[in-house]
Structure 1
Amino acid sequence: MPSFLSRQTRYGVSYNKLYSICALIYLNSTMAGLDASLIGNLNTLPSFQSFFGTGTSKATTGMIFASMQVGGILGAFTLRLADSRGRLFCIQIGSIGVICGALIQAFSRSMWMFMVGRFTLGFFSTLACRSSSIYLIEISPAERRGTIAGLYNTLFFLGSILATLAVLISQSIYHGHAAWRVPVALQCVFPAIVASGVRYIPESPRWLVANSRSSEARDVMTSLHSNGVLTNKVSEEFARMEIDVKQRDGMPTGWSVLYSSKSRKRRLFILLCMSLFGQMSGNNIISYYLPAMLHDVGIKEMSTKLYLNGLYAIIGWTAAAVGARLHDYYGRRKMLYNCTSGLATCMGLLALSMGMYYRTGEFLYSTFSLLTIYTFGVIFATGYTSMQPVYPAEVMTNDMRARGMAVATMCGGSAGCLNTLLAPAAMARLGPMFFFLFCVWDFIEAVVINAYFVETKGRTLEELEEVFNSDDPVGLSIEKSSKERMF
């Protein structure tokens, strides 16, 4: 075997095995992107609109959109199973549940049956997807955690692209209700692959240590990080994991584990902020209601809207993948702060350009509005997409992580659901001023990020305990980050 394959490098045998495992788990993100984006594309089809009585921006549309988010919020309560039964158990059960939800939608005979399917899909999607992000965080090496775990959420865009393609192809082949039923049924494909393949991959080493299976955990660590050889680096990280578990003995259990000390309250605050910012920065509005917004700036052809929807996803995917790597190079804090400031600027420009288009109807302002929408998508994808499931999980301790991600899901899901339900009426009532409100809010987010978010780049999950126990967590985290850049 060539020597470069036997060394502990990103191209070695261990990392190839790690990448293969990640590729399987990434499909859950693709599933989530397909599920979330499909409804927006279906809502451009006359057959779908006539069957359910929806439009591009009506209250009925908001109810159908929100049903999946409500299911996702309630599904968060099941995440404690990730601690008791394991990460892989939740991934498998969640994937099977998503298949059931997709089939209910595909064979729906009424709007309420369709909403039940959306709810079921959202419920189990939370269990599968959140457990997937926890699993990836816990098996990734510290120096490339942002890239390896961060790429997971970028595959959401692949799902968005496939959703657009599925609707475009289906509506060109099928007529009547089959045009929307076939794409809905395709939601079964990715969870079926994951549910089948997850039986053949190892459990999270951190979960194994926490459940008194240290020997198995050590084998997993050496298999994935050092080509089967117990190196000093792996030994040190494994020792920290065991110490971390011993220190938790006698500590509060249950939900109180999230706020039982000052450092844990700070961790929880950061998690809540990141969860809110990931949903309340304006991204949900643009993602879900892009067809309606395109209509508002003068683009009315159905096929054009679908193509622009697909282009938005392709550009976003590219930006998100680049962003995942940049988070390991520049750090989480700097990326999130700069990108959030950019989002605020885009929202301000969008409010101005759409306002001018409403007044004048000039093509120039329509084009500028469209460019601003796409620029917003690129910035959000670069800064937030890869980190939405990663950063909240990073700032949690091992015993907080499953419950913390449940809280993150409930918080983010509630914010997203509120956005989805209120956006149609707010856009109709406020017009361009609606986007100016997001401009102000995004600047507030940037201030909070600068003041409270710690840098996690390059530290193992256990090493972050030192950061949060210090008197100045932000300062200490920046101090180490400024001394090292990883590429």
Structure 2
Amino acid sequence: MADQVRNMQASKASNIRLSHDSMDKQGQHIHLNDVDGIEPSPETYAAIMATNKPNPRGPGYIQLYLLAGMVFLCSTMNGFDSSLMSSINALPNYTRYFGLPVKGNASTGIVFAIFQVGQMCGALFVWMTDWYGRTWHIFFGCLGVCIGTIITALSTNLPMFIGGRFLLSFFATCAHTAAPLYLVEISPAAYRGTIAGAYNTFYNVGSILATSSVYACHLHLADRGDLDWRIPLWLQMVCPGVVCLIIKFFPESPRYLIANDRHEKARDIITRYHTNGDPDHPLVTLQMKEMLGTVQGTSKATWKDLLDLRVLVETRSSRYRLMLNVAFSWFGQFSGNNIISYYLPTMLDGIGITDTNTKLILNIIYSVIGWVFSVCGARLHDIVGRRKMLLGSTLGMTICLALVAAGAAGKVEYDNSAAATMSIVFIFLFGAIFATGYTPMQPIYPAEVVSNKMRAKAMGTFKLTAGAAGFLNTFVGPIALSSIGYWFYVFFVFWDSFEMAFMYFFFVETKGMTLEELDVIFEAENPRKASVEAKNMQRRIIKEERVNVIEDVQIA
């Protein structure tokens, strides 16, 4: 009876249609089925998953989760750095050694902001992932982070320290950009938000490791010279060191392999990790057909092609994709989050919390809260959808920042301790909301919305934009906080309101669609509207198909 049910399910799936048709500029239909060299497969990803879903706890998926978990360690680098610098900036031994003022000035700002400068420079080389592959770029990035860490940890003066941080951030960008690109391309569409989205949640793991190490070192080594801040600097190379040792044992991105005419290897990877080793599963045929469709009629990229940025703007579709990539890159760094992440101890000073240990403990708590909520958010993005999650979280962040500003104003203007407490509460609530909506998607959504041939260069653009926003935040932040105080939060209230409106009118839903199915969405006259309609259609078909399967089981 079970075999009869499976046969009926497969028959149902073969009759399901979600239109892959879209209109090109000449009014001709674009068909994803028109691919030479592979049998036509009329099913869509959502339709196949409704009736012939691979076991997400099968051996192939378990291997994929373990592989992804190791790649997640790349994400700890940025989180470790942001919280490390925030925490050691509160240590008297550190500020005294380098002659930095306690409350921050331009010198403090450049120590933080040099990370964004290195990030922007590193972003210029992300295109190299199209030349020698995603895993090699991750390897070289992690190796460079280890070298940069050695320089910073051995620094004897501020210029040497800043130079080490530049190298560290340059190579961290190589790894931190190639890693989510790799995960987006190797993850199954149904779980892409969860698997790839969980990558950036390890930003908070890095934060927890950094703040905990600084707290422990300050607690036990504060009277041992500069050990309380140098030891945490050395620990910055642990996670990239592990990745450096194992990454070349991992498979390459199947889309990179397809682009380099290694079709059978790509098929083996899809078979192993997406269908638990079943080469005859319809998902293998569908995804191979779609990936081959993206390179049909194109030649292998040359050095000239690798350096050619016209692919980012050559069509209306690519320009729309680039707009979303740049917009979310900026929003992810310029929504009030970096100010809190880097300058939480300074903000705590402003509302009357001056004890160093208390500030370090609150920094740890802030990171733990961020991790818990970001992990939940990664799963919710595959359940609720990107648009709803981002819109809801932006609204929540706007409200929180308004209340943080009100609480800070109450403390500064009226010395109201209750207002100060309220401000702290909503700082932490802001962090939880941001972690839920934004943290999982920060490197993932910019990679999802671009085409396969754009992705490496677009991820470089993503890092350039994020670096520019981060530089503006971290360099201007301490000056603005000391000059205009709580009015700086008020500015972000209005800015986040603008972000929410922009997302509503332009952001495309990517949940549950393969990267190649999204190509069709972006060819529509209004991609945002087309994506919402496609998701509504998918929900109806999946609901109907589940009802049909239940009826078939009852009949059988």
Of 64, 75, 99, 2:122 maps to 75
Shift in alpha-carbon separation, 1:248–1:441, aligned structure 2, 3 A = farther
Q: Give the structure 2 partner of residue 3 of structure 1.
A: none
1:296 lines up with 2:346 in the alignment: no
Q: Give the structure 2 partner of residue 180 of structure 1.
A: 229
User: In the alignment, residue 103 of structure 1 is paired with which amino acid?
Assistant: I
Q: For residues 103 and 483 of structure 2, what CA distance do their matches in structure 1 show?
A: 16
1:25 lines up with 2:25 in the alignment: no
Q: Give the structure 1 partner of residue 96 of structure 2.
A: 50
Shift in Å, 1:484: 4.6
Q: For residues 172 and 368 of structure 1, what CA distance do their matches in structure 2 show?
A: 28
Q: Give the structure 1 partner of residue 438 of structure 2.
A: 384
1:362 lines up with 2:416 in the alignment: yes
1:225 lines up with 2:271 in the alignment: no
Q: For residues 217 and 90 of structure 1, what CA distance do their matches in structure 2 show?
A: 19
Q: Give the structure 2 partner of residue 331 of structure 1.
A: 385
Q: Give the structure 1 partner of residue 497 of structure 2.
A: 443
User: In the alignment, residue 139 of structure 1 is paired with which amino acid?
Assistant: I
Shift in Å, 1:250: 9.5
More off after superposition, 281-290 vs 418-427: 418-427
Of 249, 258, 268, 1:200 maps to 249
Q: Give the structure 2 partner of residue 351 of structure 1.
A: 405
Shift in Å, 1:292: 0.3
Equivalent residues in 2 for 1:63-212 (5 A)? Answer: 63-174=110-221, 175-212=224-261
Q: Give the TM-score normalised by structure 1.
A: 0.96
The answer (yes or no) to whether the contact 2:82–2:341 under 8 Å persists in 1 is: no
- 1:130-169, Cα deviation, whole Å (9 max, x unpaired): 0000000001000110000000000110110110111111
Q: For residues 443 and 197 of structure 2, what CA distance do their matches in structure 1 show?
A: 8
Alignment: residue pair count: 481
Q: Give the structure 1 partner of residue 369 of structure 2.
A: 315
1:287 lines up with 2:334 in the alignment: no
Q: Give the structure 1 partner of residue 24 of structure 2.
A: none
1:216 lines up with 2:265 in the alignment: yes
User: In the alignment, residue 59 of structure 2 is paired with which amino acid?
Assistant: V
* Structure 1 residue ranges without an equivalent (≥5): 1-6
More off after superposition, 420-429 vs 119-128: 420-429
The answer (yes or no) to whether the contact 1:104–1:114 under 8 Å persists in 2 is: yes
- 1:44-75, Cα deviation, whole Å (9 max, x unpaired): 11110101122243222111001111001100
User: In the alignment, residue 108 of structure 2 is paired with which amino acid?
Assistant: T
Q: Provide the secondary structure at the position in 2 that maps to 1:470.
A: coil
User: In the alignment, residue 515 of structure 2 is paired with which amino acid?
Assistant: L
Q: Provide the secondary structure at the position in 2 that maps to 1:314.
A: helix
User: In the alignment, residue 60 of structure 1 is paired with which amino acid?
Assistant: S
Shift in alpha-carbon separation, 1:247–1:466, aligned structure 2, 3 A = farther
The answer (yes or no) to whether the contact 2:406–2:419 under 8 Å persists in 1 is: no
- 1:58-107, Cα deviation, whole Å (9 max, x unpaired): 22211100111100110001111100010000000000000000000000
- The percent of aligned pairs where both chains have the same amino acid is 43
Q: For residues 487 and 527 of structure 2, what CA distance do their matches in structure 1 show?
A: 38
The answer (yes or no) to whether the contact 2:404–2:427 under 8 Å persists in 1 is: yes
Q: For residues 452 and 478 of structure 1, what CA distance do their matches in structure 2 show?
A: 11
User: In the alignment, residue 30 of structure 1 is paired with which amino acid?
Assistant: T
The answer (yes or no) to whether the contact 2:407–2:421 under 8 Å persists in 1 is: no
1:243 lines up with 2:293 in the alignment: yes
The answer (yes or no) to whether the contact 1:43–1:56 under 8 Å persists in 2 is: no
The answer (yes or no) to whether the contact 1:72–1:126 under 8 Å persists in 2 is: yes
1:473 lines up with 2:527 in the alignment: yes
Provide the alpha-carbon RMSD of the alignment.
Answer: 1.5
Shift in Å, 1:32: 2.4
Q: Provide the secondary structure at the position in 1 that maps to 2:433.
A: helix
Q: For residues 327 and 425 of structure 2, what CA distance do their matches in structure 1 show?
A: 29
Shift in alpha-carbon separation, 1:237–1:341, aligned structure 2, 3 A = same
Shift in Å, 1:33: 1.3
User: In the alignment, residue 425 of structure 1 is paired with which amino acid?
Assistant: I
Q: For residues 466 and 484 of structure 1, what CA distance do their matches in structure 2 show?
A: 15
Q: Provide the secondary structure at the position in 1 that maps to 2:441.
A: coil
The answer (yes or no) to whether the contact 1:56–1:289 under 8 Å persists in 2 is: no
Q: For residues 383 and 248 of structure 1, what CA distance do their matches in structure 2 show?
A: 37
More off after superposition, 131-140 vs 468-477: 468-477
Q: For residues 482 and 91 of structure 2, what CA distance do their matches in structure 1 show?
A: 22
Q: Which has the larger radius of gyration?
A: 2
Shift in Å, 1:269: 0.3
Q: For residues 439 and 168 of structure 1, what CA distance do their matches in structure 2 show?
A: 32
User: In the alignment, residue 249 of structure 2 is paired with which amino acid?
Assistant: Y
Q: Give the TM-score normalised by structure 2.
A: 0.85
The answer (yes or no) to whether the contact 1:331–1:481 under 8 Å persists in 2 is: no
User: In the alignment, residue 199 of structure 2 is paired with which amino acid?
Assistant: Y
Q: Give the structure 2 partner of residue 4 of structure 1.
A: none
